[in-house]
Chain A
Amino acid sequence: MNFYAIKSIYSFEMARFFRTLAQSLISPVLSTSLYFIVFGAAIGSRIEEVDGVSYGAFIIPGLIMLSLLTQSISNASFGIYFPKFIGSIYELHTAPVSYVEIVLGYVGAAASKSALIGLVILGTATFFVDFTILHPVAMLAFLLLTSVTFSLFGFIIGIWSKNFEQLQMVPLLVITPLVFLGGSFYSVSMLPPFWQTVTMFNPVVYLISGFRWAFFGTADVNIGLSLTMITVFMLLCLGLIGWTYKTGYKIKS
């Protein structure tokens, strides 16, 4: 294992994060704060408690999850796509590194960034809403697992994308709707029965539900099922990355 290579890639990616701090940290925090002000304080004060939790607190896990998913995907996909775009990826492919090290470096950095953003948003939330976290360890585990899984997914998008348009298509057209319709702002039980069934096909429901369980002890679906779903998705992503590098699909001619 080439540890120096992992460290190099990881440090390089983290350096970019801190170099563009305004874009990478302040912007997601600002947009989430706006959600808290509008949905939590302004509208939320007129909404009843959901599952015994004030509406302002109820939306915290969903909002963090929204950021985690979009940030993980955009950080990881951009991280690997940009060297491809400017051509500097040649260095990665001529160095004595295997795809395991490349993935550990890029995905590790992307996951670290989004986990950091998630924690900062959590900290920001304390300024707007009073809440306690029932299972802090499970919450952290979920946060990390989600960051890693969706960074892997973002990495695949970055490798497969041929242009910037494709790079942004999946986060914009797939992830954002799935998160909004996945119970970020409401409990699945609030939907009519038909839509409850439809919602169960949305993988993000399991993420938000499990994350919410870690906060408040209540969930739309069983926590075991949530964990299983995210693990399955992670294994799927790992498998796809492994296949991509083994066959050289979109990497080598």
Chain B
Amino acid sequence: MTTTTAFVDRVRRPAHLAVADLFISFFEKTIMAAILSIQNLSKQYDSGFQALKNVNLEIEEGEILALLGPNGAGKTTLISIICGLVNATSGTATVGGFDVVDEFRKARSLIGLVPQEISLEPFQTVTNALHFSRGLFGKGRDPALIEDILKKLSLWDKRDSKVVELSGGMKRRVLIAKALCHEPRVLFLDEPTAGVDVELRKEMWEVVRQLKADGVTIILTTHYIEEAEAIADRIGVIRSGELLLVEDKDLLMRRMGQRQIRIELMQPIDRIPDALASYNLEYSEEDQSLTYSYEANGERTGITALFSDLGKAGLILRDVETRQSSLEDIFVGLVEDK
């Protein structure tokens, strides 16, 4: 909510809500410190490809942020810089107040990364793989914690199996387990459910919700809008290396989302009556219905006036239904708009 962009500023806010926003922003700044802070981050690869352009982002502790964007938008590059896999060309990133380059040990010990590709040592047992990961992060063995993680991720039965013997979904769980066994405060999930069946995807979401309940901050990249809609608190939209917006999910949907009313008529009409011209209605001959679009959070939705004018125009209604645009509509609109 602290990050505002020109895009979002376009939407006018009622005065009393603006005051509430100010209060919330003050509350956030005083009480909730950002666990991840990215400033003016840019990346240009040797090939000349500009993967990130001056990205600024603050993430508060305990939230789930979904980074949405088409392939090649810069999502993975952004994560890779924070985690230490790629060097930034300019700009800084801090995790828990520690610079990811100058204080990499402190910063990285707070971070867990679940990569996009399944990259696991095939001949290790699941338990040994977890002990190895914990050790890398400078922590001694903790069998009780490992047991707890394995049970939470439904891997306990597979603890003595070699990684190579597991199914794709199980391997993905092992990746998550490995990222968790040093008890990170920030977890990056890079396309966690790419190529995963629907059932497993829903299970993954449950795992993410559980982690959030445990106080872990989660940043996930995805190009499944449904995923962001289901689990994220905030949505960031990234395209061609630019962070187009970062916004509270519900707020985003309310602000950017269009509502529509579909009005089915008893009798077909030849043309929309002149008295209704100001409503920009669309008429469909096929199902003899009128569609009225309005902004859900607008000061005046115009619904009352519309229905009154419909009556005055002598139109008899058969049915009325409303629908709200999904995050997908918003996303497609944004990406095309820019």
Interface residues of A, Cβ cutoff 8 Å to B: 2-5, 7-9, 11-12, 15-16, 19, 83, 86-98, 248, 252-253
A86: contacting residue among B83, B120, B131, B138, CB under 8 A: B120
- Is B308 positioned at the interface, with any CB of A under 8 Å from its CB? no
- Is B326 positioned at the interface, with any CB of A under 8 Å from its CB? no
Q: Report if A83-B121 is in contact (Cβ < 8 Å); known contacts: A5-B136, A95-B137.
A: yes
Question: Do the beta carbons of B45 and A253 come within 8 Å of each other?
Answer: yes
- Is B97 positioned at the interface, with any CB of A under 8 Å from its CB? no
The 8 A CB mask of B101-128 against A (1 = contact, 0 = none) is: 0001111110101010101111110001
Please name all residues of chain B whose beta carbon is closer than 8 Å to the beta carbon of A19 when the two chains form the complex: 123
Q: Report if A86-B119 is in contact (Cβ < 8 Å); known contacts: A94-B85, A95-B108.
A: yes
Please name all residues of chain B whose beta carbon is closer than 8 Å to the beta carbon of A8 when the two chains form the complex: 131-132, 134-136
Chain B CB within 10 Å, residue with most, of A15, A83, A93, A94: A94
Question: Do the beta carbons of A94 and B87 come within 8 Å of each other?
Answer: no
B136: contacting residue among A16, A91, A248, A252, CB under 8 A: A91
Known: A5-B138, A12-B132, A98-B105. 10 other contacts (CB 8 A): A3-B138, A4-B139, A8-B132, A8-B136, A9-B136, A86-B119, A91-B133, A94-B113, A96-B107, A252-B86
Which secondary structure dominates where chain B touches chain A?
loop
Question: Do the beta carbons of A96 and B104 come within 8 Å of each other?
Answer: yes
The 8 A CB mask of B278-298 against A (1 = contact, 0 = none) is: 000000000000000000000
Interface residues of B, Cβ cutoff 8 Å to A: 45-46, 83-87, 104-109, 111, 113, 115, 117, 119-124, 128, 131-140, 178
B86: contacting residue among A5, A86, A88, A253, CB under 8 A: A253
Chain B CB within 10 Å, residue with most, of A7, A83, A89, A97: A97
**8 tightest CB-CB pairs across the interface, nearest first?**
A8-B135, A87-B119, A95-B136, A96-B105, A96-B108, A2-B138, A94-B83, A88-B119
Please name all residues of chain A whose beta carbon is closer than 8 Å to the beta carbon of B107 when the two chains form the complex: 96
B49 to chain A, nearest CB (A): 10
B178: contacting residue among A4, A89, A91, CB under 8 A: A91
